Amino acid sequence: MTAAYPSSPPPTLVSSPDGAWLPFRRPSPPWLYTVGVLKTLWSLFFFAVVPYFVFQLLGHFSGSSSSGISVHSDLPFQALIDLGIVLSLLTGARHIAKPTRWFGPIWFFRAVVKVGYVLLIAWNAILMASIGFSSGSVSIMFDYSGTIYLFLIGTALAMIAALITAYEDVKYPGERLPFDYPVK
């Protein structure tokens, strides 16, 4: 017989609102921490490392370059990286806290930070490029804020789901655990 998670404890029973007893198998803390750290590293790459390298690439083309191409963006680099690091840490904490009552509030706080991250990008979402020729130059301005605002739809839905989860965890403790961690 194989366990659902490495070194997982035996199944636990929790009562549902209709009086039925539902089994679940809570993952072991080492498993939760390992997956939480992996999720933190992945989101750190996505929310902090990738923007860092994009800024490095933009910095390579800023000012006058030998290719005659100049690119400029007003996006505040350090604030974006700092919010990306906080967002990454909250991603890992959310996974580690999933079997506890802290899952909903951490999820909600992560969604609030993500709103700040997305708004920071959207408010500064103008990319200006200038291409120089021997007879003059051509300037192009690209505003992608409308596309970035679409990401707020998913984040708003995550905030609503986090509030509902936090409420249900207080009202019906442990009710979601059989669905999050079923016995296999």
Number of domain units in the chain: 1
Which range of residues forms the domain containing residue 159? 27-173
Neighbour tally for 32: CB within 10 Å: 19
Residue 163 is assigned to a structural domain of this protein: yes
Residue 2 is assigned to a structural domain of this protein: no
Residue 112 is assigned to a structural domain of this protein: yes
Residue 64 is assigned to a structural domain of this protein: yes
Residue 132 is assigned to a structural domain of this protein: yes
Residue 22 is assigned to a structural domain of this protein: no
Residue 11 is assigned to a structural domain of this protein: no
Residue 167 is assigned to a structural domain of this protein: yes
pLDDT digits (tens, 9 = 90+) for 170-179: 888 877 877 7
pLDDT digits (tens, 9 = 90+) for 24-81: 777 888 989 999 999 999 999 999 898 888 877 766 666 555 555 555 667 788 888 8
